[in-house]
Amino acid sequence: DVKVTQSSRYLVKRTGEKVFLECVQDMDHENMFWYRQDPGLGLRLIYFSYDVKMKEKGDIPEGYSVSREKKERFSLILESASTNQTSMYLCASSPQDSSGELFFGEGSRLTVL
Amino acid sequence: GENVEQHPSTLSVQEGDSAVIKCTYSDSASNYFPWYKQELGKRPQLIIDIRSNVGEKKDQRIAVTLNKTAKHFSLHITETQPEDSAVYFCAAIPVGGGYNKLIFGAGTRLAVHP
Instruction: Quote the CA–CA distance of B41 and A95 in Å, as a whole number.
Output: 25
The mean per-residue pLDDT over the stretch B56-67 comes to 95
Question: Which of A41, A59, A100 is closest, CB to CB, to B93?
Answer: A100
Instruction: Quote the CA–CA distance of A83 and A103 in Å, as a whole number.
Output: 28
Structure confidence at residue A99 (pLDDT): 66
Interface touch A43/B99, C-beta < 8 Å: no
E-assigned strand segments in A1-113: 4-6, 10-13, 19-25, 31-38, 42-51, 54-57, 65-70, 73-78, 87-94, 103-104, 108-112
Residues of A in contact with B99 (CB under 8 A): 30-31, 48, 50, 94, 96
> pLDDT tens digits, residue range A15-48?
999 999 999 999 999 999 999 999 989 999 999 9
> pLDDT tens digits, residue range A71-106?
999 999 999 999 999 999 999 999 887 667 899 999
Residues 6+ apart with CB under 8 A from B113: B12, B13, B14, B15, B82
pLDDT band at B3 (very low <50, low <70, confident <90, very high): confident
B93 interface with A at CB cutoff 8 Å: yes
CA of B16 to nearest chain A CA: how many angstroms apart?
27
B31 interface with A at CB cutoff 8 Å: no
Mean pLDDT, chain B, whole residue set:
92
Angle at B104 between CA B50 and CA B96, to 5 degrees: 75
Output the CA torsion sign for B79, B82, B83, B84.
positive
Instruction: Quote the CA–CA distance of B17 and A107 in Å, as a whole number.
Output: 32
> pLDDT tens digits, residue range A56-71?
999 999 999 999 999 9
